[in-house]
């Protein structure tokens, strides 16, 4: 899972801002953020070698969330994190769009890819059994969890959108402090807003409720890191990453990693 908050053309000086939490099994081994030439990634999955979010110095940002199903993911399918790497290597938003449209959805477990720069931001929905869809996001705040934008299955996205929308017009970097607070939010929706897993689902009803916080702390699974990224008209402006859940780990300027 993951939660990605997109602010498009809301903040002076930063046309595109992404605030994201990476949610994963605690036992899955991960390396921290690093620079790879002119690309910064929020971390590297030691199992697949992929990443969940990254940016180029020229100002292309790419992030992925999985699409939740009530069955465990198929381990024989290709890495969704590798798609993020390929998109960053493509270097331009139009090239990423072409790359995604050429994907065979049956090669992957379902995912949503968010990609944008100072000229626009898009989301691609990729799910086996359906054609790839790519949509431009409107001006304002959009939140992508583990389904389509606006899905009633993820009330945490509604909470994040409301909180981010209340501060979206503030200038960067003051806005960064507010968004870090949104990413660290443990608020749970009322029980009646929490979708109940169907019989045979691989998570319990209690876990299904716990994963509806923006910052998740479930017994075996939770928020492992957070990223705040801002793009200006001249390229990447800021890229901050935490090494643990944002409620207990500060977001550090990734530019320090280049020294």
Quick one: pLDDT at residue 1?
A: 62
State if pTM tops 0.85: yes
Distance CA 5, CA 144 (A): 7
Query: What is the residue range of 210's domain?
Result: 2-258
Q: What is the pLDDT of residues 178-229, one digit of tens each?
A: 999 999 999 999 888 888 888 877 788 888 899 999 999 999 999 999 999 9
Q: What is the pLDDT of residues 145-185, one digit of tens each?
A: 999 999 999 999 999 999 999 999 999 989 999 999 999 99
DSSP, collapsed to helix, strand or coil, labels residue 63 as strand
Interacting residues of 80 by C-beta distance below 8 A, sequence separation 6+: 50, 64, 66, 108, 109, 111
Distance CA 58, CA 255 (A): 14
Quote the number of domains for the chain. 1
Helix (H), strand (E) at residue 237:
strand 235-241
Q: What is the pLDDT of residues 124-143, one digit of tens each?
A: 999 988 999 999 999 999 99
Distance CA 57, CA 91 (A): 10
34 vs 195, which has greater pLDDT? 34
Interacting residues of 150 by C-beta distance below 8 A, sequence separation 6+: none
Q: What is the CATH number of the domain that holds 61?
A: 3.60.60.10
116 vs 1, which has greater pLDDT? 116
Quick one: pLDDT at residue 44?
A: 96
Count of other CB atoms within 10 angstroms of residue 128 = 15
CB 51 within 8 A of CB 244: no
């Amino acid at each position: 899972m993951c939660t990605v908050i997109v602010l498009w053309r809301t903040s002076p000086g930063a046309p595109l801002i992404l605030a994201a939490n990476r949610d994963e099994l605690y036992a899955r081994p991960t390396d921290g953020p690093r620079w790879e030439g002119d690309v910064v990634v929020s971390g590297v999955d030691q199992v697949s070698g992929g990443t969940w979010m990254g940016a180029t110095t020229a100002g292309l940002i790419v992030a992925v969330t999985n699409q939740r199903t009530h069955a465990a993911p198929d381990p024989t399918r290709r890495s969704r994190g590798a798609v993020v790497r390929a998109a960053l290597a493509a270097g331009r938003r139009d090239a990423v769009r072409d790359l995604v449209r050429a994907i065979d959805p049956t090669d992957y477990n379902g995912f949503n890819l968010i990609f944008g720069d100072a000229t626009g931001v898009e989301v691609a929905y990729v799910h086996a059994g359906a054609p790839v869809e790519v949509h431009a996001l409107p001006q304002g705040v959009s939140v992508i969890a583990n389904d389509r934008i606006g899905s009633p299955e993820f009330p945490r996205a509604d909470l994040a959108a409301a909180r981010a929308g209340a501060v979206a017009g503030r200038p960067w970097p003051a806005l960064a402090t507010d968004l870090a607070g949104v990413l660290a939010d443990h608020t749970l929706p009322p029980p009646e807003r929490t979708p109940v897993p169907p019989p045979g689902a691989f998570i319990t009803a209690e876990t299904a409720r716990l994963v509806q916080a923006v910052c998740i702390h479930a017994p075996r699974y939770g928020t492992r890191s957070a990223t705040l990224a801002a793009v200006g008209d001249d390229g990447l402006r800021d890229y901050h990453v935490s090494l643990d859940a944002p409620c207990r780990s500060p977001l550090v300027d990734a530019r320090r990693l280049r020294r």
